[in-house]
């Protein structure tokens, strides 16, 4: 089932998600909904809080040309190690019509669990490393806007208010993290 993606400034996006104590059928169903919603958006990553669920769960597929081939579903992800720095142009399904360069770790090791209850470790660099960090930020109530300068955040807020005043909808989404 395709779920509605919450958008900035929805206060739910600023809340820290709860750790998943056990994996059950309801959670697995919600994860399947997240995947369907991510592909429909279209996006390459989605965190449970973006659809209003306070669970530490993310889904990612950084190969949108081959949906499902490289799909990751991670429960209770934790960044265990980082190395290097990279500047990457990011966008977000919850931040309409805005991209900006964000400084991130160039490589990460993320540990977590699959929906089948298997412990996993994912070593990533480049886009996958950025996407993992971006989605894990969502679990902590952090948007990529929070990683920008105050000036850039304020400019984005003003643009949203102007669209609202003019009664215009934001432009359609592009593929986003």
How many structural domains is the chain composed of? 1
Residue 19 in any domain: the answer is yes
Q: Which domain holds residue 160?
A: 11-166
Q: Give the pLDDT band (50/70/90) at residue 170.
A: low
Higher local confidence (pLDDT), 163 or 95: 95
Read off the CATH number of the domain in which 37 is found.
3.90.45.10
173 pLDDT above the threshold of 90:
no
Q: pLDDT band for position 172 (50/70/90)?
A: low
DSSP state of 70: T
- 45: Cβ–Cβ under 8 A, 6 or more apart, which residues? 38, 58, 59, 60, 61, 62, 131, 134, 135, 177
The answer to whether residue 177 is domain-embedded is no
- Give the pLDDT of residue 162: 87
Say if 3 falls within a structural domain: no
pLDDT top residue among 23 and 175: 23
Per-residue confidence (pLDDT) for residue 64, from 0 to 100: 82
In the chain, the N- to C-terminal Cα span, in Å, equals 20
- For the residues 67-85, what does the mean pLDDT come to? 96
119 is catalytic: no
Binned at pLDDT 50, 70 and 90, residue 54 comes out as very high
The count of other CB atoms within 10 Å of the CB of residue 71 is 15
Q: Is 174 domain-assigned? A: no
Residue 93 backbone zone (phi > 0: left; psi -120 to 50: alpha; other: beta): alpha
- Asked if the structure places residue 103 within a domain, the reply is yes
Question: Which residue in this structure is represented by tokens 């019509």?
Answer: 97
Structure tokens at 157: 């807020």
Q: What is the mean pLDDT of the chain?
A: 94
**Domain annotation covers residue 172:** no
Residues 146-167 have pLDDT tens digits of 999 999 999 998 988 888 888 8
Catalytic residue among 90, 101, 135, 166: 135
Q: Considering the domain boundaries, does residue 74 fall inside one?
A: yes
Residue 56 belongs to some domain of the structure: yes
């Amino acid at each position: 089932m395709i779920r509605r993606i919450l958008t900035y400034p929805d206060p739910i996006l600023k809340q820290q998600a709860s750790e998943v104590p056990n994996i059950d059928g309801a959670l697995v169903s919600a994860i399947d909904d997240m995947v369907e919603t991510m592909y429909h958006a279209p996006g390459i990553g989605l965190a449970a809080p973006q659809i209003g669920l306070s669970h530490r769960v993310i889904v990612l597929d950084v190969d949108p040309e081959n949906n499902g081939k490289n799909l990751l579903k991670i429960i209770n992800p934790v960044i265990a190690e980082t190395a290097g720095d990279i500047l990457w142009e990011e966008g977000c399904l919850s931040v309409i019509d805005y991209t900006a360069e964000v400084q991130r770790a160039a490589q990460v090791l993320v540990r977590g669990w699959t929906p089948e209850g298997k412990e996993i470790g994912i070593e990533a660099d480049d886009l996958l490393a950025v996407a993992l960090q971006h989605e894990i930020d969502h679990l902590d109530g952090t948007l990529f806007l929070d990683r920008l300068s105050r000036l850039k955040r304020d400019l984005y807020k003003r643009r949203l208010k102007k669209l609202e005043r003019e009664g215009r909808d934001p432009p359609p989404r592009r593929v986003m993290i």
